[in-house]
Amino acid sequence: MRSLLTPLLITLLLAACSSAPQQVTSPDHGNPFSGGTGSVQDNGVSLLSGDFAGNSAAQAFVTKMVNEHVFDRVQLEGTLSATRRLDWVLDYMERQAPSYQGPPGPNGAWLRYRKKFITPDNVQNGVQFWNQYQEALDRAWQTYGVPPEIIVGIIGVETRWGRVMGKTRIVDALATLAFDYPRRGKYFASELETFLLMARKEGDNVLDLRGSFAGAMGYGQFMPSSYQQYAVDFNHDGHVNLWDPIDAIGSVAHYFSAHGWQPGGAVAIAASGQVPRLVSGFNTRYLPASLIAAGLTPQGSLGDVKQVSLIKLDMGDYYQYWFGLPNFYVITRYNHNTHYAMAVWQLGLAVRAARNAG
Ligand SMILES: [Ca+2]
């Protein structure tokens, strides 16, 4: 490889010294010359070094950011040269595939999930959060029609009210998945693009921002695209800051409102009876009358809802059924998972009950 360095160096020096439009073609692979070239204008020569040197997706991404968003090539390549590829993130994504669920019949899957979130300590922490940010929660309720228990439930399940917001450098996570995870590369490249635009707009240092292994940020674990579409400056300080609890409260409420939350509407209604042969899950659609005819009796008013989902929770030695109402489906827009939505709602209700009792 050493023999290739000299012509490459000459090419780069020519590029750096010439004031004429550059005819230099971009080197295909990484080069070790990451410094001392600040005088190079944008001529398509990649100075990307580090883990993504020679990565064609990364080079195309840089060119896109330069052309579409007027990013400075040298500066952006400097940032991406300091960005790390996180192999453990790739491993983790691969392990997200559906796994064997165990033998048929109830085995307590819902109880195990619920126990991760609905504990006495966690509920008390939720009460503390609610009390501390009561003004913002009430204002979000008035503004967006989303009640405090839902916002408290989301932020509780996502980050335990800011205690666990993720320690992975966002740019590392997003670049790894954008440039080295072809299955979802397009999605994560778009998220990385939006993330860089966010950091520029908010004046954040890209290399300082931390979050989840997949690039989710702040109290509500917003992806960059959610920041772009739904995050709001709810404390009116001129910045939309996902790491600010008040901005996060307004942003979560706005997210729910934009996804069709029905103010004052119920979330789910418990049912008595058993319908083991029916397909269940937040994505199912049934006429309420057909579930009733199949043997379920709602334990509360379904209102005038036209269709419901069938929620089935594994309680260990039996299944518990619920009529899922439109607001239940809205919670799954945050995370497409029946257990998740039920945990958010029940955690919020448990915090509300503990708060009222205290
Ligand atoms: Ca703000």
Q: Is residue 192 part of a domain?
A: no
Q: How far is the CA of 199 from the centre of ligand 1 (A)?
A: 14
Q: Which residues pair with 270 in a beta bridge?
A: 322
Q: Give the model's pLDDT for residue 96.
A: 75
Q: How far is the CA of 234 from the centre of ligand 1 (A)?
A: 6
The yes-or-no verdict on residue 27 having pLDDT over 50 is: no
Q: How far is the CA of 237 from the centre of ligand 1 (A)?
A: 5
> Model pTM?
0.86
Q: How far is the CA of 241 from the centre of ligand 1 (A)?
A: 5
Q: Is residue 279 part of a domain?
A: yes
Structural domain that includes position 144? 109-159+262-357
Q: Give the model's pLDDT for residue 136.
A: 98
Q: CA 133, CA 109: separation in Å to the nearest integer?
A: 33
What 3-state class would DSSP assign to 221? coil
Q: Is residue 9 part of a domain?
A: no
pLDDT, mean of residues 128-150: 98
Q: Which residues surround ligand 1, an ion (CB under 5 A)?
A: 233, 235, 237, 239, 241, 247
The residue behind tokens 């000299």 is: 6
Alpha helical stretches, state H, the chain: 2-17, 56-69, 73-81, 87-94, 109-115, 120-132, 134-144, 148-159, 170-180, 185-202, 224-230, 245-258, 288-294, 326-332, 338-357
Q: How far is the CA of 238 from the centre of ligand 1 (A)?
A: 6
Q: CA 32, CA 48: separation in Å to the nearest integer?
A: 9
The yes-or-no verdict on residue 254 having pLDDT over 50 is: yes
Helix (H) or strand (E) holding 21: none
- How do residues 331-342 score in pLDDT, each as one tens digit? 999 999 999 999
Q: CA 147, CA 342: separation in Å to the nearest integer?
A: 16
Q: How many domains, in total, are found in the chain? A: 1
Q: Which residues pair with 308 in a beta bridge?
A: 286
The yes-or-no verdict on residue 97 having pLDDT over 90 is: no
Q: Is residue 209 part of a domain?
A: no
Q: CA 104, CA 276: separation in Å to the nearest integer?
A: 12
pLDDT, mean of residues 306-315: 97
Q: How far is the CA of 69 from the centre of ligand 1 (A)?
A: 24
Q: Please list the active-site residues.
A: 158
- Higher confidence at residue 90 or residue 13? 90
What 3-state class would DSSP assign to 191? helix
Q: Is residue 244 part of a domain?
A: no
DSSP classification of residue 155:
H
Q: CA 8, CA 337: separation in Å to the nearest integer?
A: 52
Q: Is residue 303 part of a domain?
A: yes
pLDDT, mean of residues 5-13: 39
Q: How far is the CA of 80 from the centre of ligand 1 (A)?
A: 28
Q: Is residue 293 part of a domain?
A: yes
Residue 211 buriedness (CB in 10 A; 0-12 / 13-18 / 19+): buried
Q: How far is the CA of 82 from the centre of ligand 1 (A)?
A: 29
Q: CA 329, CA 308: separation in Å to the nearest integer?
A: 9
Residues whose CB is less than 8 angstroms from the CB of residue 294 and which lie 6 or more positions away in sequence, other chains included: 275, 278
- How do residues 191-245 score in pLDDT, each as one tens digit? 999 999 999 999 999 999 999 999 999 999 999 999 999 999 999 999 999 999 9
Q: What's the token pair of residue 207? A: 């290399």
Q: Give the model's pLDDT for residue 105.
A: 80
- Higher confidence at residue 262 or residue 17? 262
pLDDT, mean of residues 101-111: 81
Helix (H) or strand (E) holding 37: none
Q: CA 93, CA 75: separation in Å to the nearest integer?
A: 30
Residue 300 belongs to domain with CATH number: 1.10.530.10
Q: Give the model's pLDDT for residue 21.
A: 38
Q: Is residue 317 part of a domain?
A: yes
Q: CA 252, CA 261: separation in Å to the nearest integer?
A: 11
Amino acid at site 65: M
The residue behind tokens 């997949």 is: 214
The yes-or-no verdict on residue 30 having pLDDT over 50 is: no
Q: How far is the CA of 176 from the centre of ligand 1 (A)?
A: 29
CA distances from 280 to 16, 274, 288, 319 (A): 64, 12, 14, 11
Average model confidence (pLDDT) for the chain?
Answer: 89
Q: How far is the CA of 246 from the centre of ligand 1 (A)?
A: 7
Q: What percentage of the chain exceeds 70 in pLDDT?
A: 86
